[in-house]
Amino acid sequence: MTRHFLALHDYTKDELDGLLDLAGELKEKQKQGIEHHLLKGKTLAMIFEKSSTRTRISFEVGMYQLGGHGLFISNKDSQIGRGEPIRDTARVMSRYCDGVMIRTFGQEIAEEFAEYSSVPVINGLTDLFHPCQILADLQTVIEHKKSYEGLKFAWVGDGNNMANTWIEAAALCGFDLVLACPQGYEPDAQVLAWAEAKSPGRVTLTTDPAVAVAGADVVNTDVWASMGQEEEQREREKAFAGYCLDDNLLGRAKPDCIVLHCLPAHRGEEISDSVIEGKNSVVWDEAENRLHIQKAILVRLMSGQE
């Protein structure tokens, strides 16, 4: 049976820890200039229905460093953009490529693609989940805090795909997460219910950013209006008043806390310039780790090695 990477809840804690360990090993090999062509001759189709900087570059560079090839496909470059059924594209693409990464809107699109694909499918982002990013974030936490265990994680902002995936990570990996979201902008109710059933009490929801950040080891935020929500920008700015991660709010966290942001950042909105450029920010390490964790996912799914 083909294994895919569509959401964290499809994996166990041990499997996620294994991916994080492998990402660290691959990063060290790259730093030392050790060749690691573990996917020599392999091709990854990269479908982008949403634009990207970090996802495209990290997957394409990652495939190159692994000895394979990444093939960029936008809506205008394929029949998907002209209405070809997902299942038809999936079955055909599976016969050309060794894996598929899809960055799209609905989670159901990625899941349907995987259902009809005979090769591994990786979720590069959907409106519901962003699993590659959260694993890159956890790799960054491990690098700076030695472990994610025993830490308090805080989320400040929209209950979006990042928030949903952090909720899954907390329930699976066993760390405490407090999310501050304005009323009406909470994370997905089904994801919250799943997490509470999986690991009761690990995830807490509040409308007060100060409560979420108090004593936190890791503080995380994201843009208030994700891709496809730009027309809601002004409305969201009003709803998210007081949710900017600035020096005053960060001061409630532990002095040695680390700050994460998946980028792109709207400085002065969800995060201040002084915080993203400050001593607690590890945002650039976080962005780099997209490359390493995605290489680990690619190797695990496409090399034929467990």
Which is the catalytic residue, given 262, 292, 294, 300? 262
Query: What pLDDT is recorded for position 228?
Result: 63
Contact 89, 80 (CB under 8 A): yes
290 noted as active-site residue? yes
Contact 201, 195 (CB under 8 A): no
Which is the catalytic residue, given 4, 9, 56, 133? 133
Q: Is residue 53 part of an annotated ligand binding site?
A: yes
How far, in Å, are 17, 28, 32, 260 from residue 25 at the CA level?
12, 5, 11, 22
- Burial bucket for residue 149 (CB in 10 Å: 0-12, 13-18, 19+): exposed
Q: Is residue 52 part of an annotated ligand binding site?
A: yes
Which is the catalytic residue, given 4, 103, 202, 292? 103
Q: Is residue 126 part of an annotated ligand binding site?
A: no
Which is the catalytic residue, given 202, 236, 290, 300? 290
Strand partners, 203: 177
Pairing of strands 69-74, 43-48: parallel
Q: Is residue 244 part of an annotated ligand binding site?
A: no
Write out the chain's pLDDT in tens, 306 residues. 799 999 999 999 999 999 999 999 999 999 999 999 999 999 999 999 998 999 999 999 999 999 999 999 988 777 776 678 999 999 999 999 999 999 999 999 999 999 999 999 999 999 999 999 999 999 999 999 999 999 999 999 999 999 999 999 999 999 999 999 999 999 999 999 999 999 999 999 999 999 999 999 999 999 998 766 667 788 898 999 999 999 999 999 999 999 999 999 999 999 999 999 999 999 999 999 999 999 999 999 999 765
DSSP SS3 for 303: coil
Half-sphere exposure of 79 (CA within 13 A, CB side): 9
Q: What number of other Cβ atoms are within 10 A of residue 254's Cβ? A: 17
Query: What pLDDT is recorded for position 81?
Result: 65
262 noted as active-site residue? yes
- As a whole number of angstroms, the distance between CA 181 and CA 184 comes to 8
Q: Is residue 17 part of an annotated ligand binding site?
A: no
Q: Is residue 290 part of an annotated ligand binding site?
A: yes
How far, in Å, are 137, 140, 258 from residue 285 at the CA level?
9, 7, 11
Query: What pLDDT is recorded for position 3?
Result: 97
- As a whole number of angstroms, the distance between CA 236 and CA 228 comes to 13
Which is the catalytic residue, given 9, 56, 130, 292? 130
Q: Is residue 227 part of an annotated ligand binding site?
A: yes
Query: What pLDDT is recorded for position 83?
Result: 77
Q: What is the DSSP string of 99-140?
A: EEEEE-S-HHHHHHHHHH-SS-EEEEE-SS--HHHHHHHHHH
Query: What pLDDT is recorded for position 152?
Result: 98
133 noted as active-site residue? yes
- Burial bucket for residue 225 (CB in 10 Å: 0-12, 13-18, 19+): buried
183 noted as active-site residue? no
Q: Is residue 181 part of an annotated ligand binding site?
A: no
pTM, two decimals, is 0.96
130 noted as active-site residue? yes
202 noted as active-site residue? no
- As a whole number of angstroms, the distance between CA 59 and CA 64 comes to 9
Q: Is residue 78 part of an annotated ligand binding site?
A: no
Provide the angle, in degrees to the nearest 10, between the axes of the packed helices 13-32 and 131-145. 70
How far, in Å, are 71, 111, 144, 151, 291 from residue 108 at the CA level?
23, 5, 35, 33, 25
Secondary structure of 35-97 as H, E, C letters: CCCCCCCCEEEEEECCCCCHHHHHHHHHHHHCCCEEEEEEHHHCHHHHCCCHHHHHHHHHHHC
Strand partners, 176: 152
